[in-house]
Amino acid sequence: MSYLFSEIKLGGLMLPNRIVIPPMCQYSAGSDGLPTPWHHMHLGTMAISGAGLVILEGTAVEDIGRISPNDLGLYNDAQEEALRDLVARIRTFSSTPIGIQIAHAGRKASNTPFDGREPVPVGAGGWVPIAPSPVPPKDIWPTPTEMTDADIARVVSAFAAAATRADRVGFDLVEVHAAHGYLISSFLSRSANHRTDEYGGSLENRMRLGIRLAEAVRAVWPKQKALGFRINGTDWTEAGISVDEATAFAAALKKVGVDYVTVSSGGNSRDQKLPAMVPGYQAHLAEAVRKGAGITTMTVGIIVTAEQAEETIASGKSDLVGVARASLDDPRWGHHAAQSLGKESVYPKPFWRVAAKYWPGYQFAHPPVKQT
């Protein structure tokens, strides 16, 4: 038996295995937020990787919520129609469930990911970011505008509207981005949230926006489809989110109908002290949240081999593994993992001759891992 290649149910969505292609921003949309041929290639490639689920990159719920001027958006009819076409085309050759991550960049908006993450000036196509407090993430970035109650209400409505559009597009799953120092994450973190109203101070107050969003999205997102949140397990600083706070947030999300959480870390504080970047360096965070909140979890962060992924699931560290950059490096990662663990994997028909039982060269291209 392989734990990695066992089924799992998220809400009403059944996945054939525990491998997930998590959201990976491509920063390759048009300035109108529409997908380009690159997105068709990228998502289409991931949809035939052998994973049990593919999640489209962080997609902004309003124009000022984009990380960069070239982020995908889902806040108007043209974007909705373009994403519907993208999903429909992929479903002509892949039955892999497809999700979308909806997001708001908050104070980390309007930058240039391909050019050192320099801020984009207002006069050059950028905009003034918004945040819980007027605290920039870095000295070189502009001071964000502190959000008013009206801003908060607008953003909550924008997430719900994006989820409604995602349902009409035909996505099987929605994941809300609440990690990495983006808007929801910054409300949760004491390092970024200095408010003195009902959205700041105590953990209950700092969680308030995230819970309001979860309730709003759950209200419009069909019960038979899965709803998840990506959260920080820690900010890697004493002044930020702790694993105990993350566990409390995950438990609160579960109560309002969230089906799973992806547990990541960092990105909120310039004072963060990151650990060594080794395989599975965040798995202990997912394990703590899983056990403490009793919620289905996904771990991400340097998942590189089938054996590592199998052990992660088998040992109870998480229920799902997000295989991101390793899948960019090896676009057939899921198929190769199945072969490595002694499971049969069904390749797309045009690729049938690269399966191990048909290609004598497979054993040389993918030699068995020596057990130690």
Could you report the per-residue pLDDT of 193-238, keeping only the tens digit for each? 999 999 999 999 999 999 999 999 999 999 999 999 999 999 888 8
Average pLDDT of the segment spanning 43-58: 98
- Show the domains of the chain with their CATH numbers: 8-365 (3.20.20.70)
Asked if residue 230 lies in contact with residue 178, where contact means CB atoms within 8 angstroms, the answer is yes
10 or 356, which is more confident: 10
The structure's pTM equals 0.95
* 182 belongs to the catalytic site: yes
Provide the pLDDT confidence category of residue 370 given band limits of 50, 70 and 90.
low
One-letter amino acid of 214 = A
Q: Taking the CB of residue 304, how many other CB atoms lie within 10 A of it?
A: 15
H helices of the chain, in order, are 37-47, 77-90, 149-169, 183-188, 203-206, 208-220, 243-255, 283-293, 306-314, 325-329, 333-340, 362-365
**Residue 329 CB neighbour total at 10 angstroms:** 10
What pLDDT does residue 227 have?
99
How far, in whole angstroms, is CA 163 from its chain's centroid?
15
For residue 191, with 0-12 CB atoms within 10 Å meaning exposed, 13-18 middle and 19 or more buried, which class applies? buried
d(CA 41, CA 36) in angstroms, rounded, equals 9
Measured in whole angstroms, the distance separating CA 8 from the mean position of its chain's CA atoms is: 18
How many residues does this entry show for the chain?
Answer: 372
Q: With pLDDT > 70 as the criterion, what percentage of the chain qualifies?
A: 99
**Pair of tokens at residue 331:** 């676009």
DSSP one-letter code for 143: P
Chain segment 25-49, per-residue pLDDT in tens:
999 999 999 999 999 999 999 999 9
Q: Residue 289 corresponds to which tokens in the numbers above? A: 């949240």
Check whether 293 has a pLDDT greater than 70.
yes
pLDDT of residue 116: 82
**Average pLDDT for 57-83:** 98
Residue 59: in which H helix or E strand, if any? strand 53-60
Contact of 313 with 287, CB cutoff 8 Å: no
Which listed residue (75, 182, 199, 260) is catalytic? 182
**pLDDT confidence band for 1 (50 / 70 / 90):** confident
117 φ/ψ sector (left φ>0, alpha ψ -120 to 50, else beta): left
CA distance 242 to 219: 29
Contact 286, 297 (CB under 8 A): yes
pLDDT of the residue at 68: 94
Give 146's DSSP letter. E
Q: Closest by alpha carbon to 226, among 35, 90, 98, 56?
A: 98
Tokens of 81: 């129609």
Q: Work out the pLDDT band at 372, boundaries 50, 70, 90.
A: very low
247/293 Cα distance (integer angstroms) = 6
